[in-house]
Structure 1
Amino acid sequence: MAASLAGSRIREARLRAGMTQAALAKASGISPSYLNLIEHNRRRIGGRVLNAIAAALRTRPSDLAEGGSPTLIADLRAAVAEHPGAPADADTAEALAGRFPGWAEFVLMLNRQVRDQHAAIRALSDRLAHDPFLSETIHAMLSQITAIRSTAGILARIDDIPALQQRRFHHGIDAESVRLSEAAQALAEYLGAAAESPESAATAEEMLDHFLRRHGYHFDPIDREAETAAAFPAPVAAQRISGLVEDIMAAETADLPVAARSLVRAHLTAYAADAHAMPLRHFADAAARLGWNPQALAAEFGQGVPAVFRRLAVLRRPWIEAPSFGLIVVTASGYPLLRRPLPDFALPRHGNACPLWPLFQTFARPGVVLLERIEHDTGRPFVTLSHAAPRRPPALGEVPDPEAAMLIVAERESPFATAAAARPALAVGTSCRICTRGDCPARAQPQLLR
């Protein structure tokens, strides 16, 4: 425990008791100068001296020696790390947590709210830019408005239009007006539903995102069954796990459209295969032992790097100490197949990701794991591991269908930080529409937010 915390507590307890330094020093059997050093955080104390001071102040030694919650202190330091240039240091965080735990919790609550608001703004901005329903509806409305204006302009400019032609123009305006009204109503209902429920989804991919988020991106029943099934013959184990996947599907996806159910089933099937090949606790032990190296883990379990990436991204649990990894998997066109975002690293829903991500470099170097440091446009540093491989082995003469995956971890908790430290950080964002880097040479679209 830091001397600063004990010294500050002793001084506060002495002032509450109405004692002078000289009186407390005499009652404790130490010199006033030594007590002054203690209270000004220049000496550590414990044992006999601490007990004597506590007795003189009529309090328990633990009340003076006890520091702030280690978790609270760690959270404060992490919050400060999110804001470069913040006027705080390690001792400040410990003193705040120890002396004013309520205020420390309040600071953390505000930081969480700011982080959540930033995430919400980014998600909404991304949705405005890429939501297919909004895009199609607004395009249809603009087309209908253009048709009405064009027809109305003809009627207004030309006086001698035959009656039959006038009736056709009027009928066209009426029909386009009805379609415009229906499109506007649909848009209003869609936006109203989105305002009432943040979980509203317009596409099968969004429905999969919401399903995974509700489960925290991992499925403990499948992991437990995979560990239990390891004692059975392979066909029996596969049947047991497959049956559990179907149970989850029946219980939780009955109301989803067919396309969304298909995506959920494919994800659960892949998750179950990963869990069977790399049982959770065995994988966690191996990951810690091998320094979280995905290539070493792939060799250990006889699996591909993409499967190891997926397993690392869902490894952290309340009972498993592991870095918090984010993950994105994309096709060669950049369309996301799987998204596991981090709180401080938003991932686009419908493609148009930042072209500077190391992820895209791997398509030119398939099979190679790239380690890079990046700095998000929020100023937060991350470490990434990227890898590309064909989704399935191509037939002779067939063009491969590759996918690329990028594992993301905050630099402050990265197990690869030492290896990446010598590399200059790449300046990246999430996507051009919501990136704040106005002078980026790779910008392909104007900023939506400034």
Structure 2
Amino acid sequence: MAIQKLYAGAKLRELRTKLAHTQKEFAARLGVSLPYLNQMENNNRPVSTTVVLALASEFGLDVTELSSGDSERLVSDMREVLSDPVFEGDVLPLADVQLAASNAPGLARAFIKLHQSHRQTQERLAYLDEALGREDARPSPSPWEEVRDFFHYCDNYIDAVDRAAEYFARDTGSGQSLRDTTKAALSAAGITVAFDETDALRRYDPASGVLHVSARASHATQTFQMLLQVALVRQNDLLEATLDFARFNSPAARDIAKMGLANYFAGAALMPYGRFLEHAQSCRHDLEVLATQFGASIEQVAHRLSTLQRPGSKGIPFFFVRVDQAGTITKRHSATRLQFARFGGACPLWNVHSAFETPGRFLRQLAETPDGVRYISLARDISKPAGRFGAPVRRYAISLGCEVRHAPALVYADGMDTTRASAFEPIGISCRICERKHCHQRSVPPLERQLVVDPNLRDVLPYQVD
């Protein structure tokens, strides 16, 4: 097997800028010539083994950061943007897209934001009659999408918040549970916890200082909601500083992100990084075992596994996704090369959709994406009842997976033949950027392929992909 060369020009420039070094100073510390550094920063040469070792010894850099998924995320996002019919007839070769993502990531992100603005403008024009005369009729970024992208490009790992949550969890007294510690922390802040027969999971009344938590919710959900309130009252300065760094475009985006960070703190306190990683490795990432050990739900455990990307102490790079019954992605993150569609649903051949048909069971799947990368994927349905008769039940399906090379570290891979090529099912990201010619579930033609229509032939699809 050929060794893949490592091109990381953008990462080198980013590190040098952060250190406030000139190219000459940086080259000297790496032990290379100035022209050689210049060529590496411009991706004209791969990063050599000598440079990788120097980065680790001189700067303490976690060298896995050099091959992080930023470039691949950008490539995936740009290809999906370019599948918009507005670019019809202007198909860019994949090599050009990869070059833009690796050499000019800032420009690539700006291009994606520009397309988002275009889409939002088109949506507003569709409701022109309603929009006319309103002050907010001008195009503006979607706060929800802005926050989603913030977590997406942070690798779903926020170091300062994660470490603060881990420190809080360590503060548990002798014989005291995390739940008791959390109640004590709220009490010290002048907040009383009341468990009520209410449909709302959490409702805080600042005037009375009472935090109302649903008595119908599960034990794990109750603890999580109390921890979320701890984040809002005790870690407010940290959350606000993180939000200042993010520089959101609207107050709405900032408000949504703050709740996202508070949720992050709650999950990280419920499952502290070091201890959780250790237990995950020892039980080979058994979600049910981890849920029992940490008093969390299956979904909380799966999501937490996808955030274990602390430099110097990384877990397995997982992808995590949650979809509703319509196939719409409601949560998504990937530390792997597999990226999810930003617009629309997920590939229908993926086992996450089948999870609704087998409630309460884990479904396993070996899958291969069009780029030849193979994965092991785990899916399960998640029901969220309201706790009383007649209340609507929210149903989702979640999927957690990683590249198949990590299969020995997963209990779910036991008994699966990961060496047989035919065992891997072909999946994609979205039909427009999936180049498979013979997919029986294809909904729209692929962007970068020519179509052949034979009036004398009607196969599974009304056309053939050239």
Do Structure 1 and Structure 2 share a fold, with TM-score over 0.5? yes
1:139 is displaced (CA, Å) by 7.3
- The letter of the residue matching 1:216 is D
Report what 2:118 is aligned to. Answer: 134
For the residue of structure 1 that corresponds to 2:47, the secondary structure is: helix
Measure, in 2, the Cα distance between the counterparts of 1:126 and 1:338: 22
Higher strand share: 2
Per-residue CA distance 1:30-85 (angstroms, 9 max, x = gap): xxxxxxxxxxxxxxxxxxxxxxxxxxxxxxxxxxxxxxxxxxx9x93698xxxxxx
Once the 2 structures are TM-superposed, how far is the Cα of residue 283 of structure 1 from its aligned partner?
0.4
SS at match of 2:310: coil
Aligned CA distance change for structure 1 residues 332 and 249 (closer, same or farther; 3 Å) = farther
Out of 295, 299, 303, the position equivalent to 1:302 is: 295
1:116-150 superposed Cα distances (whole Å, 9 cap, x missing partner): 77435424336678967534645787999xxxxxx
Q: Does 1:208 align with 2:192?
A: no
Residue 286 (structure 2) pairs with residue 293 (structure 1): yes
- The number of aligned residues is 307
Secondary structure of 1:210's aligned partner: helix
SS at match of 1:420: coil
- 1:121-270 residue pairs with structure 2 within 5 A? 121-125=78-82, 133-135=117-119, 137-138=121-122, 202-230=141-169, 231-232=171-172, 233-235=181-183, 236=185, 238=227, 240-243=230-233, 245-251=235-241, 252=243, 255-270=248-263
> Residue type matched to 2:233 in 1?
G
8 Å CA contact 1:119–1:346 kept in 2: the answer is yes
Query: Do the aligned residues in 2 keep the contact of 1:327 with 1:407 (CA within 8 Å)?
Result: yes
Hey, what's the Cα distance between the residues in 1 that align with 2:71 and 2:251?
A: 37
> What residue number does 1:319 align with?
312
Secondary structure of the structure 2 residue equivalent to 1:408? strand
Greater helix proportion: 1
Q: What are the equivalent positions in structure 2 for 1:95-106 lying under 5 Å apart?
A: 105=47
The residue number in structure 1 matching 2:36 is none
Shift of 1:302: 2.1
Tell me the amino acid that sits aligned with residue 224 of structure 1. R
Q: Alignment partner of 1:366: what SS?
A: coil
Helix, strand or coil at the partner of 2:232: helix
Supply the distance in 1 between the matched residues of 2:233 and 2:126 (Cα, whole angstroms): 49
The 1-side partners of 2:166 and 2:68 are apart by 39
DSSP-derived class of the 2:167 partner: helix
Counterpart for residue 406 of structure 1 = 399
Q: 1:141 to 1:379 in 2, by over 3 A?
A: same
Q: Does the CA-based 8 Å contact 2:151-2:157 persist in structure 1?
A: yes
Please say if 1:380 is aligned against 2:373.
yes
- 5+ residue gaps, structure 2, are 7-39, 53-65, 87-111, 133-137, 173-180, 187-226, 450-466
* 8 A contact 2:434–2:446 mirrored in 1: yes
Tell me the residue number matched to 1:352.
Answer: 345
SS of equivalent residue, structure 1 residue 226: helix
Q: Is the 8 A contact 1:245 1:265 kept in 2?
A: no
Match of 2:400, SS state, is strand
Aligned pairs for 1:431-442 within 5 A: 431-442=430-441
Normalising by the residue count of structure 1, what TM-score does the alignment of the two structures yield? 0.58
Contact kept? 2:376, 2:401, Cα under 8 Å: yes
Residues 77 and 405 of structure 1: CA distance in aligned 2, closer, same or farther (over 3 Å): same
Contact 1:329 1:337 in 2 (8 A): yes
Structure 1 gap ranges (5+): 1-72, 80-101, 145-178, 180-185, 191-200
Q: Which amino acid aligns with 1:432?
A: C
Deviation of the 1:404 alpha carbon:
1.9
- 1:95 paired residue number: none
1:281 maps to 274
The TM-score with structure 2 as length reference comes to: 0.56
Q: Deviations over 1:88-126 (max 9, x none)?
A: xxxxxxxxxxxxxx9763699999999577435424336
Q: Equivalents in 2 of 1:395, 1:215: separation in Å?
A: 39
Q: Identity across aligned pairs (percent)?
A: 23
Residue in 2 aligned with 1:47?
none
Contact 1:373-1:381 at 8 Å conserved across structures: yes
CA contact (8 A) 2:80 2:432 kept: no
Q: Is the 8 A contact 2:70 2:153 kept in 1?
A: no
What amino acid maps onto 1:408 in structure 2?
Answer: G
Larger radius of gyration: 1
The correspondence for 1:329, drawn from 322, 328, 344, is 322
Quick one: distance in 2 between partners of 1:284 and 1:301? 12
Larger deviation, residues 301-310 vs 115-124: 115-124
Q: Residue type matched to 1:243 in 2? A: V
Which one-letter code corresponds to 1:276 in the other structure?
A
Q: Is the 8 A contact 1:313 1:327 kept in 2?
A: yes
Determine if the alignment matches structure 1 residue 339 to structure 2 residue 322.
no
Whole-angstrom CA distance in 2 between matches of 1:142 and 1:219: 38
SS in 1 for 2:301: helix
CA distance in 2, matches of 1:425, 1:141: 44
Amino acid at match of 1:420: M
RMSD of the alignment, in Å? 4.2
Does the aligned pair in 2 maintain the 1:204–1:260 contact within 8 Å?
A: yes
Deviation, structure 1 residue 307: 0.3
For the 8 Å contact 1:384–1:407, the answer to whether it is kept is yes
> Per the alignment, do residues 286 and 78 of structure 1 end up closer, same or farther by CA in structure 2, a change over 3 Å counting?
farther
CA distance in structure 1 between the partners assigned to 2:123 and 2:259 by the alignment: 33
Per-residue deviation, 1:219: 2.1
Native 8 Å contact 1:329 1:336 kept in 2? yes
- Residues 383-422 of structure 1: CA deviation (Å, up to 9, x unaligned): 1111221245453133421122211211123323454326
Q: Using the alignment, how far apart are the partners of 2:321 and 2:68 within structure 1?
A: 26
Q: How many angstroms apart in 2 are the aligned matches of 1:106 and 1:116?
A: 24
In the alignment, residue 217 of structure 1 is paired with which amino acid? Answer: N
Secondary structure of 1:337's aligned partner:
strand
Greater mean alpha carbon deviation, residues 213-222 or residues 427-436: 213-222
